């Protein structure tokens, strides 16, 4: 399950507004994982974490399944590179189903291309997005059918004002109309999306959640 070289993503359990971090597994012995120093995904810098710092950790296995577990720093180790020791128990692993991805309202630029070249490509705006897929305004007269595959490019603005371009295949779930929306909508499920891109989308969703919470406060 856990393998050397895997990437872990860490999010503080003590403060949801702290950045997320990524690190690589260097060693694994019993219930202890040794990782290189975590890097802030926004700034690209490392940070200092005292013993006892708690995290929610997640990783992706070879079958593209996401798992998460709660952990804490239990020590440090000096080797060829400095490492942190974190607790790991396979019994505490939780498999994350795609339906568990948080979906948020987000207006993002998107282009959709027919992989068969039958329909013209078109640009649109998303209405919502999650780590598993998205919904966008649909403007073609020739409707896609459920199960068809398309190529998409989504422009993703991040908190640091940089733009990320998500290029992936997606499967058409359905095309439908909604009373309060003038145009039809198309829902798409990501297909074979690189995990780095999925994590960027999840991070974008998380940032929107934070902004919504701050407005409420």
**Are 78 and 19 in a shared domain?**
yes
Question: With left for phi above 0 and alpha for psi between -120 and 50, is residue 118 left, alpha or beta?
Answer: alpha
Of the residues 96, 130, 163, the one at which a domain ends: 96
**Are 118 and 89 in a shared domain?**
no
Decide if 183 contacts 136 (C-beta within 8 A): no
**Are 131 and 192 in a shared domain?**
yes
**SS3 of residue 185 by DSSP:** strand
Q: Which domain holds residue 156?
A: 104-216
**Are 142 and 83 in a shared domain?**
no
* Residue 140 covered by a domain: yes
* Residue 1 covered by a domain: no
Say if residue 198's pLDDT is above 60.
yes
**Are 52 and 143 in a shared domain?**
no
Can you name the residues that pair with 164 across neighbouring β-strands? 156
- List helix spans (H) across the chain: 195-216
Decide if 131 contacts 98 (C-beta within 8 A): yes
**Are 109 and 205 in a shared domain?**
yes
Of the residues 33, 62, 96, the one at which a domain ends: 96
**Are 88 and 113 in a shared domain?**
no
**Are 71 and 136 in a shared domain?**
no
How much is the pLDDT for 98?
Answer: 53
Q: Residue 45: name the closest of 26, 19, 70 by CA.
A: 19
Mean pLDDT, rounded, for 6-13: 84
Confidence of residue 39 (pLDDT cuts 50, 70, 90): confident
**Are 42 and 81 in a shared domain?**
yes
Q: Give the tens place of pLDDT for each residue, 109-160.
A: 999 999 988 898 999 999 999 999 999 999 877 789 999 999 999 999 876 6
**Are 40 and 140 in a shared domain?**
no
Domain count, the chain: 2
Kindly list the distances between the CA atom of residue 40 and the CA atoms of 12, 65, 90, 101, 209, in Å, as whole numbers in the listed order: 12, 23, 26, 22, 19
């Amino acid at each position: 399950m856990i393998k050397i070289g895997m990437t872990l993503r860490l999010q503080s359990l003590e403060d949801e507004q702290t950045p997320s971090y990524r690190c690589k597994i260097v060693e694994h012995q019993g219930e202890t994982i040794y990782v290189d120093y975590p890097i802030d995904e926004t700034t690209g810098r490392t940070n200092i974490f005292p013993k006892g710092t708690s995290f929610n950790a997640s990783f992706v296995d070879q079958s593209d399944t996401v798992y998460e577990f709660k952990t804490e720093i239990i020590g440090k180790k000096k080797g060829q590179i400095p490492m942190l020791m974190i607790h790991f128990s396979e019994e505490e692993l939780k498999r994350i189903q795609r339906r568990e991805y948080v979906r948020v309202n987000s207006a993002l630029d998107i282009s959709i291309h027919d992989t068969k070249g039958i329909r013209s490509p078109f640009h649109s705006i998303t209405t919502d997005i999650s780590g598993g897929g998205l919904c966008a305004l649909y403007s073609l007269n020739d409707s896609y059918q459920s199960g068809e595959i398309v190529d998409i490019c989504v422009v993703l603005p991040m908190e640091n004002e940089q733009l990320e371009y998500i290029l992936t295949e997606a499967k058409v779930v359905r095309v439908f109309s909604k009373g309060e929306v003038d145009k039809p909508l198309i829902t798409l499920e990501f297909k074979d999306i690189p995990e780095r891109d999925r994590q960027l989308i999840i991070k974008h969703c998380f940032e929107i959640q934070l902004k919504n919470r701050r407005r409420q406060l």
